Amino acid sequence: MKVKSKLADVDFEFGRFEYKKDHLIVHSATSQRMQTRVYVSPDDIVAAASTALRNPRVWGYLFGFPFFLLRYRRRKRARALETGQ
C-alpha cells in the first residue's frame, strides 16, 4: 500500500496484526526500513466504513475488483518481464 502526503511518500507493507485494549494494531513488515504501527479504533472502522459505503466509486471498485486485480497483476508481471526481474 502506498501512503502519499505532503510530508512523505511511504510504501507500507502489512506485517503482523495485534489486538490490544479495543484497538487493532497493524505492524509494518519486518523487511521495511522504517518500522511503523497503525492503531485502528472501533470508531475508525465505523467512520471509514460509513464514509466508504456512501461513495459510489467505492461500490464500483468493489464490484469491479476481480477485473482490477487481474489487470493489475498482468501489468505488474509484464513490467517485471520487461525489466528482467
Q: Name the residue ranges covered by the structural domains of the chain.
A: 1-41, 55-85
Q: Against a cut of 0.75, is the pTM above it?
A: no
Contact status, residue 27 vs residue 16, Cβ threshold 8 Å: yes
Report d(CA 30, CA 27) in Å as an integer.
8
- Going residue by residue through the chain, which has 85 residues, state the pLDDT in tens, using 9 for 90 and above: 788 888 878 788 899 999 999 999 999 999 888 888 999 999 999 999 999 999 999 999 999 999 999 999 999 999 888 887 6
